[in-house]
């Protein structure tokens, strides 16, 4: 599949990703492992090259990254190894041990990175697929107020598209995203949000499931994979709505559909990054009806079937304001009905 960010073939179908999961981060018999204290500077700037199998232990990769950052003056030699940045592996899933990474499997996040050094890292460190400069904020929409101006991180070099994998009762779900444009939500052990959706979908599954603040579509596509015949996903932020639609295509083989129709390209959506009135971004053809909208979730009642009484997941980013969340929840129940839950 063509990547919408870099135009290369770095995006693969869910079936292809799932096929490599059992061994993708495991070492071969010849791989070496040097575990380091990330709170200290590495003992030297020397690093081992990848094994003949093409993999290298993650700490060794970070010494390689650290050495280039020190050489370029981005870090001081006295800085701890953790200052080199935060790793997001591709594909991501809950792991019980540190990984041995193959080529092109790491997106590096750093608040101090420069363009020059980022280009060097992508060119010289084979595991690095992309480098993102972060800030002290959450990228994309971080509040229900659509009048705020969303901020995003900066992709300095390479490609920051990566996938996370979530286990379902019916099989794994693969979710792609452009990491600089959406908030980071790495799979947690136990996958509590997935389990929450499974519980509320039930057996037999409910007739209509609404993922009101869908992000890249994880909860909505979970419901679809569990057999819900009609799923509506929606997000006001263009990047989230686009990747919800894109992930429909990625997981198409595991859904009861014939075709995914995507009506908007990400370049055009970026011209209108936040939309209030719902705009249909994608829909499916087949026995399951799955729709993706970009818009304010509070405007969704106008497009939902009357009297459908859906199960609605309301995954607001900021759940700490209980009073505001309760008001939003009650307003939805008054206008739509059904059941609503906060995963």
CA–CA separation, 114 vs 214, rounded Å?
32
CB atoms within 10 A of CB 195: 14
CA separation for the pair 259, 286 (Å, rounded)? 7
Under DSSP, is residue 215 helix (H, G, I), strand (E, B) or coil?
coil
106-110/100-101 β-pairing: unpaired
Q: How far apart are CA 237 and CA 214, in angstroms?
A: 10
pLDDT for res 221: 97
Q: What is the pLDDT of residue 23?
A: 95
Residue 187 has pLDDT above 70, yes or no: no
**Which stretch, 23-32, 164-173, 180-189, 299-308, has highest mean pLDDT?**
23-32
Q: What share of the chain is helix, strand, coil (3-state, %, to 5)?
A: 25, 20, 50
What the block records as the tokens of 335 is 């206008």
316-343 mean pLDDT: 87
Confidence of residue 2 (pLDDT cuts 50, 70, 90): confident
pLDDT greater at residue 209 or residue 328: 209
The domain covering 191-341 belongs, at the CATH homologous superfamily level, to Vaccinia Virus protein VP39 (3.40.50.150)
pLDDT for 110-150, tens place per residue? 999 999 999 999 999 999 999 999 999 888 876 666 777 78
Q: What are the residue boundaries of the structural domains of the chain, listed by start? A: 14-158, 191-341
Residue corresponding to tokens 């209030």: 276
Q: Token digits for 106? A: 């790491």
Average pLDDT over residues 95-121: 97
Exposed, middle or buried: residue 233 (CB in 10 Å: 0-12, 13-18, 19+)? Answer: buried
Helices (H), the chain: 14-20, 58-71, 115-124, 192-201, 218-225, 238-250, 266-269, 322-335
Q: pLDDT at residue 96 above 70? A: yes
pLDDT digits (tens, 9 = 90+) for 292-327: 999 999 999 999 998 889 999 998 876 677 888 889
Mean pLDDT of the chain: 93
195-200 own/partner pairs: CB under 8 Å, 24+ apart: 196/313, 196/341, 196/343, 197/222, 197/223, 197/226, 197/313, 197/343, 198/168, 198/169, 198/222, 198/226, 200/311, 200/313, 200/339, 200/341
Residues 6+ apart with CB under 8 A from 212: 234, 297, 300, 312, 313, 314, 315, 332
Whether the CB-CB separation of 63 and 111 falls below 8 Å is answered with no
């Amino acid at each position: 599949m063509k990547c919408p960010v870099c135009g290369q073939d770095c995006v693969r179908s869910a079936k292809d990703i799932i096929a490599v999961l059992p061994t993708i981060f495991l070492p071969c018999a010849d791989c070496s492992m040097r575990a380091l204290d990330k709170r200290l500077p590495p003992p030297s700037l020397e690093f081992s090259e990848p094994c003949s199998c093409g993999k290298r232990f993650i700490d060794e990769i970070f010494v390689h990254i650290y050495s280039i950052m020190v050489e370029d003056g981005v870090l001081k030699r006295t800085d701890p190894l953790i200052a080199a940045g935060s790793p997001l592996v591709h594909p991501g899933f809950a792991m019980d041990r540190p990984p041995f990474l193959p080529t092109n499997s790491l997106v590096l996040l750093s608040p101090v990175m420069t363009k020059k050094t980022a280009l060097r890292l992508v060119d010289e460190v084979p595991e690095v697929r992309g480098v993102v400069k972060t800030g002290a904020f959450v990228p994309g929409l971080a509040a229900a107020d659509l009048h705020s101006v969303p901020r995003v991180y900066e992709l300095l070099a390479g490609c920051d598209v990566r996938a996370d994998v979530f286990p379902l009762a019916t099989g794994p779900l693969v979710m792609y995203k452009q990491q600089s444009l959406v908030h980071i939500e790495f799979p947690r052990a136990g996958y509590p949000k997935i389990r929450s959706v499974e519980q509320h979908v039930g057996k037999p599954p409910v007739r209509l499931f609404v993922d009101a603040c869908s992000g890249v579509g994880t909860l909505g596509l979970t419901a679809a994979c569990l057999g819900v015949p009609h799923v509506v996903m929606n997000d006001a932020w263009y990047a989230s709505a686009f990747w919800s639609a894109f992930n429909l295509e990625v997981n198409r083989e595991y859904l009861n559909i014939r075709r995914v129709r995507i009506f908007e390209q990400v370049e055009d959506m970026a011209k209108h990054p936040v939309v209030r009135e719902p705009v249909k971004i994608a829909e499916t053809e087949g026995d399951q009806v799955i729709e993706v909208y970009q818009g304010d979730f509070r405007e969704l009642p106008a497009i939902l079937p009357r009297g459908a009484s859906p199960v609605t997941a309301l995954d607001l980013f900021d759940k700490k304001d209980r009073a505001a969340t309760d008001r939003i929840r009650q307003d939805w129940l008054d206008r739509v009905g059904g059941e609503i839950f906060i995963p």
